[in-house]
Structure 1
């Protein structure tokens, strides 16, 4: 495996793990994460976005959204914006088949 392939695989694995957990926690809280304005409300700690109240899950979700953005920034720096976008598109498609994540699918 080439060094650049390893970086790509590593970033995809990290984002997959975090985004899977985000989707699971969003489902617990009954949140459609990709609907307009929802992510911003989660980041701002607005738990009124939840369809079901679960303080612990919402707190974890909020932390993981921050981690997602940090991992995405690292990915963009390491493998470039185009490759990072492809990874995120694949993850979004896969997760969207399992969860109602909102947004345009």
Structure 2
């Protein structure tokens, strides 16, 4: 619950600051002076898309961040289990190789 409140506060602040900058400076001036080149390419010099992006509600921002968090945690879990299975597989393979080598030595 505390994470939900914290994220809501962060995204409310981001939304309000973005709107304040776009209204105070005007989206044209802010777009030309402060937007990084990558952001401009992402929106394709479409200023209406930028204004729509900043006008999304806090809940939309929060849901988006939580979905990204779930994807990251899922991928992290898949990687962790894959590495665990890989280590177990290598261990079993080495134990099998050792038993084969031990049985060959005992027959000599």
Instruction: Find the structure with the greater CA-based Rg.
Output: 2
Report the TM-score when normalising by structure 1. 0.33
Report the TM-score when normalising by structure 2. 0.32
Larger RCO (CA within 8 A; separation ≥ 6): 1
